[in-house]
Amino acid sequence: MQIILTNAVQAAAAPLTEPLSVEDATIWQHMSNALHASMDRVLSLLIAILPGILAFVVALAISTLIGVAVSALMRRVLTAAKFDDRIARTRGSADWTPATAPTSLAARACFWGCVVLGLVVGVSAFDTSFATASPLPISLLPYLAHAVGAAFLLIAGNIIARFLARSVLIGAVNAQLQYARFLSLGVKWLVLVLTAAMVLDHLQVGGVIVELAFGILFGGIVLTLALAVGLGSRDLVSRSLESHAERASEQSAENAPAGGDPIRHF
Amino acid sequence: MMATANSLPDTGVESVRVGAQLLVVLAPLPQEQVESVLTHVAACLAAGDVVIATADALARESHAGLHFVDLPGAAPSWTVAAASFAMASQLAQENKVRGILMLGPEAGSLGEAGIGALVRGVLEGGVDLAMPRYAISPHAGLINSGILYPLTRALFASRVRFPLAIDLGLSARMAERMAAAARPLIQRNQQDALLWPVSEAAVAGYRIEEFDVGPRVLPVPPDPDLNTILPLLAGSLFTDIEARAAFWQRPRALPPARFHAEAQATSEDHTDIAAMLQSFRFAYAHLQEIWSLVLPPNALLGLKRLSLMDEASFRMPESLWARIVYDFLLAYRLRTIHRGHLMGALIPLYLAWVASHINVTREEMMPEQHVEMAAAAFEAEKPYLVARWRWPDRFNP
């Protein structure tokens, strides 16, 4: 590597017609040394973490294979032992969907347990090889852990946002609020914005800027909604509330116009 | 374990009376209704053959000839809940009675003939479950007419018109069976959970009979809002159906229909269905995304056609309604979406059926006739339910 770099430096210096001074030669030498040291560090890093990555992959692959085997064994044993029937007797029902049969659940739990175990072993091996390799300044592992946490946050936030959006939509539609979809979307995006801010904060990306931006955005959305209700959508809201009140009064009379029986759902 | 201890109260050994025929379990009633019920019961049976279980102390003084036992902890309930069944069975065993008559709130509105029919059914007719058939307004009990009755009839082969009746006659063994079904719920601190006596009796192979009891004032649930009551009732029935899938998937013959005096439609029915249609159309515009997770394209097409109909010609085909209920039942079982959301999404569709029912009964046929048509459609569509229950992932156009 040193030879290559030296040659490269010489080749670069060759077109120069004037002889190099002592100072110039020293500069090139320093540059060469710096590049050399840098490549040395990167290669050392790769050499240091490569066994860890390999250990991680191997641990995950082996644990997955073990999981498949254990799952198949569990499924066979539980089927032979009529596990589903036994559970059904205690539960009082023998009806399972293919995805919720106890045998299937137990087998899946075994498989994913093995996979998670393999993940833990792999990460531990990676951690060990990384820690003992060299005192390099790159903090890759903690960042990886943060990334996993952030991914969980993102998934959870999405699930919660969808759940709340549906709850609001159905509740608002059954209450016949004219702005049902708007409310549902508002709730969904509020939760998503909150989730995004939490994810970025967890990843330590942006620092104070994210907090500030989130505060401005969240506060802005709430303020916009308040202004919309208070000023811009005053007519819309009053119309909606009036129609809601009319419906309530109609329902309180239980659809009992002259000559009609009142409607009772139960 | 402490929290799951059986919360049934000790009824006291001193109240035990051997040799009585019938135990009458009274829900908390106003004094005048208690008087009315006791008078009707005394007219059916000799005083020595009846044990009255009530929490009302005043009744004892006015009817000294009757034998009373305490009904401790009888919390007011608008229907017969799990705890009531367990308590009734316990009292029946202690008093060694042959039959039990459970009377719910507003039972004072029941006539002597109606109470007598239930009593005779249990004590003389050899019936395990005597269910009342109320003569109520055609526009009352619509959840029962549109969902509970058709589903129970199609799946459990029972013609009982009110599967969740508020008054019941039970044999001793039926009471014990209901108590056994109630115990796990009570241990889970769900004393107010609903039980479905018709399906319980059908699965046990017990004899079920229905008796005309005449008009009755129906109690009002604590929260009569449709958004509460429909998910409660339909969700409870769906859970019961899910638990008994092994039973109802086999074909069973329906007992022959009996003649019942039909509730007459009001001569000039001006019931306004505009609000219900507006609710349905509004939901059609907003809930398609959720309905499409539950309903197949064919049903969605049917709903699209419905949404375009005007008020006067609004008719929901019975087969479409049956399939919609079955699809929601399947989604409930498969947890396609959160069950609370599912029940909420069913409400506008139910309102569409109610609007259609009112239109049909206003112009074309008697209310009971239309309810029977809906129930027959549920029976006809049962193979669809069974097929999708067994193979939920199969292509369904």
Residue that is written with structure tokens 């107010």 in the block: B192
- Gap between the Cα atoms of B59 and B41, Å rounded: 13
Angle ∠(B198,B203,B206) on CA atoms, nearest 5: 70
Q: Do B268 and A259 make contact, defined as CB atoms within 8 angstroms?
A: yes
Q: Nearest chain B residue to A178 by CA: give it.
A: B282
Contacts with B140 from chain A: Cβ below 8 Å = 261-264
- Gap between the Cα atoms of B38 and B62, Å rounded: 10
Give the DSSP H/E element, type plus range, for residue B51. Answer: strand B50-54
Do B305 and B195 lie in one domain? The reply is no
Q: State the count of interchain CB pairs (< 8 A) between A and B.
A: 114
CA distances, B202 to each of A88, A169, B134, B158, B384 (Å) = 19, 39, 21, 8, 22
| Virtual torsion, Cα A75, A79, A83, A88, nearest 10 deg | 110
For residue B248, being part of any structural domain is answered with no
HEC-encoded secondary structure of A137-193: CCCHHHHHHHHHHHHHHHHHHHHHHHHHHHHHHHHHHHCCCCCHHHHHHHHHHHHHH
pLDDT at B253: 84
Do B178 and B287 lie in one domain? The reply is no
DSSP characters for B331-359? Answer: HHHHTSS-HHHHHHHHHHHHHHHHHHHHH
B80 touches chain A (CB under 8 A): no
| Virtual torsion, Cα B254, B396, B352, B81, nearest 10 deg | 50
Q: Do A266 and B143 make contact, defined as CB atoms within 8 angstroms?
A: yes
The answer to whether B394 touches B186, Cβ cutoff 8 Å, is no
Q: Do B272 and A171 make contact, defined as CB atoms within 8 angstroms?
A: no
pLDDT at B5: 37
Q: Do B143 and A94 make contact, defined as CB atoms within 8 angstroms?
A: no
The answer to whether A129 touches A52, Cβ cutoff 8 Å, is yes
> Nearest-CA neighbor of B295 among B275, B277, B321?
B321
pLDDT at B277: 92
Do B323 and B184 lie in one domain? The reply is no
Is residue A156 pLDDT above 90, yes or no?
Answer: yes
Q: Nearest chain B residue to A247 by CA: give it.
A: B275
Which candidate from A180, A255, A259 shows the least CB-CB separation from B286?
A180
| Amino acid identity for residue A137 in this structure | P
Which of A171-175, A250-254, B42-46, B247-251 has the lowest average pLDDT? A250-254
Q: Nearest chain B residue to A243 by CA: give it.
A: B275
Per mean pLDDT, which of A86-90, A140-144, B67-71, B208-212 is the most reliable? B208-212
pLDDT at A248: 56
Residues spanned by the domain of B171? 17-138+158-224
Number of domains making up chain B: 2
CA distance A166 to chain B (A): 7
Q: Do B141 and A266 make contact, defined as CB atoms within 8 angstroms?
A: yes
B141 touches chain A (CB under 8 A): yes
pLDDT at A142: 64
* Cβ-based neighbours of B136, under 8 Å, separated by 6 or more: B215, B216, B218, B263
Q: Within 13 A of B20's CA, how many CA atoms are on the CB side?
A: 30
Do B172 and B303 lie in one domain? The reply is no
- Gap between the Cα atoms of B166 and B72, Å rounded: 20
Contacts with A244 from chain B: Cβ below 8 Å = none
Residues making up chain A, counted from first to last: 266
Do B220 and B279 lie in one domain? The reply is no
pLDDT at A95: 60
Contacts with A173 from chain B: Cβ below 8 Å = 282-283, 286-287, 348
Contacts with A97 from chain B: Cβ below 8 Å = 333-334, 392
Q: What number of other Cβ atoms are within 10 A of residue A110's Cβ?
A: 20
Return mean pLDDT, chain A. 77
Do B203 and B107 lie in one domain? The reply is yes
CA distance B304 to chain A (A): 17
Q: Do B282 and A97 make contact, defined as CB atoms within 8 angstroms?
A: no
Give rounded-to-5 percent helix, strand, coil for chain A: 80, 0, 20
For residue B268, being part of any structural domain is answered with no
CA distance A157 to chain B (A): 17
* Cβ-based neighbours of B43, under 8 Å, separated by 6 or more: B112, B116
CA distance B341 to chain A (A): 6
Q: Do A173 and B278 make contact, defined as CB atoms within 8 angstroms?
A: no
Which candidate from A92, A166, A176 shows the least CB-CB separation from B341?
A166
* Cβ-based neighbours of A148, under 8 Å, separated by 6 or more: none
Instruction: Identify the bridge partners of residue B22 per DSSP, sorted by sequence position.
Output: B50, B99
Q: What is the DSSP letter of B194?
A: B
pLDDT at B14: 38
ipTM confidence score: 0.83
Which candidate from A92, A173, A265 shows the least CB-CB separation from B229?
A265
Token pair for A179:
């702005």
- Gap between the Cα atoms of B284 and B278, Å rounded: 10
Contacts with B230 from chain A: Cβ below 8 Å = 265
Q: Do B221 and A259 make contact, defined as CB atoms within 8 angstroms?
A: no
Judging by beta carbons within 10 Å of its beta carbon (0-12, 13-18, 19+), is residue A193 exposed, middle or buried?
middle
DSSP characters for B315-333? Answer: ---HHHHHHHHHHHHHHHH
- Gap between the Cα atoms of A139 and A49, Å rounded: 12
For residue B198, being part of any structural domain is answered with yes
Q: Nearest chain B residue to A164 by CA: give it.
A: B341
Chain A interface disruption, residue of B80, B286, B335, most A CBs within 10 A: B286
Q: Do B218 and A266 make contact, defined as CB atoms within 8 angstroms?
A: yes
For residue B269, being part of any structural domain is answered with no
pLDDT at A126: 75
Give the DSSP H/E element, type plus range, for residue B24. Answer: strand B22-26
Token pair for A103:
């045998």
Do B128 and B39 lie in one domain? The reply is yes
For residue B294, being part of any structural domain is answered with yes
Q: Which of residues 12-31 of B touch A (CB under 8 A)?
A: none
Positions of chain B with pLDDT under 70: 1-20, 73-76, 260-269, 395-397
pLDDT at A254: 46
Residue that is written with structure tokens 């479950």 in the block: B129
For residue B1, being part of any structural domain is answered with no
Judging by beta carbons within 10 Å of its beta carbon (0-12, 13-18, 19+), is residue B267 exposed, middle or buried?
exposed
For residue B334, being part of any structural domain is answered with yes
- Gap between the Cα atoms of B185 and B120, Å rounded: 31
pLDDT at A177: 85
Do B278 and B131 lie in one domain? The reply is no
> Nearest-CA neighbor of B360 among B348, B374, B350?
B374
CA distances, B247 to each of A41, A94, B16, B204, B394 (Å) = 72, 10, 38, 10, 22
B266 touches chain A (CB under 8 A): yes
CA distances, A227 to each of A220, A239, B306 (Å) = 10, 17, 38
> Nearest-CA neighbor of B187 among B8, B356, B376?
B8
B221 touches chain A (CB under 8 A): yes
Q: Do B144 and A260 make contact, defined as CB atoms within 8 angstroms?
A: no
B226 touches chain A (CB under 8 A): yes
Give the DSSP H/E element, type plus range, for residue B214. Answer: strand B208-214
Using one digit for the tens of pLDDT, what is the confidence trace for A157-167?
999 999 999 99
Do B207 and B329 lie in one domain? The reply is no
> Nearest-CA neighbor of B50 among B82, B98, B87?
B98
User: By a Cβ cutoff of 8 Å, what residues of chain A touch chain B?
Assistant: 92-95, 97-98, 163, 166-167, 169-171, 173-174, 176, 180-181, 247, 250-251, 255-266
* Cβ-based neighbours of A40, under 8 Å, separated by 6 or more: A1
Residue that is written with structure tokens 């009891």 in the block: B213
Residue B48 belongs to domain with CATH number: 3.90.550.10
Do B209 and B316 lie in one domain? The reply is no
Which candidate from A97, A263, A266 shows the least CB-CB separation from B392?
A97
Contacts with B334 from chain A: Cβ below 8 Å = 97
Do B299 and B190 lie in one domain? The reply is no
Q: Which of residues 175-214 of B touch A (CB under 8 A)?
A: 184
pLDDT at B271: 76
Strand order in the sheet with B168-171: B67-70, B50-54, B22-26, B99-103, B168-171, B129-134, B208-214
Residue A247: pLDDT band with limits 50, 70, 90: low
Do B209 and B279 lie in one domain? The reply is no
For residue B238, being part of any structural domain is answered with no
CA distances, A211 to each of A149, A182, A221, A225, B31 (Å) = 18, 26, 15, 21, 66
CA distance A216 to chain B (A): 31
Using one digit for the tens of pLDDT, what is the confidence trace for A189-242?
889 988 998 888 888 887 788 788 888 887 887 787 777 666 655 666 666 666
Which candidate from B140, B233, B246 shows the least CB-CB separation from A94?
B246
Q: Alpha helix (H) ranges present in chain B?
A: 31-44, 58-62, 82-95, 112-123, 142-143, 149-156, 172-187, 197-204, 226-243, 245-248, 274-286, 288-294, 297-308, 318-334, 339-363, 367-380, 382-390
**Backbone φ and ψ of B52, nearest 5°:** -105, 125
Q: Nearest chain A residue to B273 by CA: give it.
A: A255
**Backbone φ and ψ of B263, nearest 5°:** -70, 130
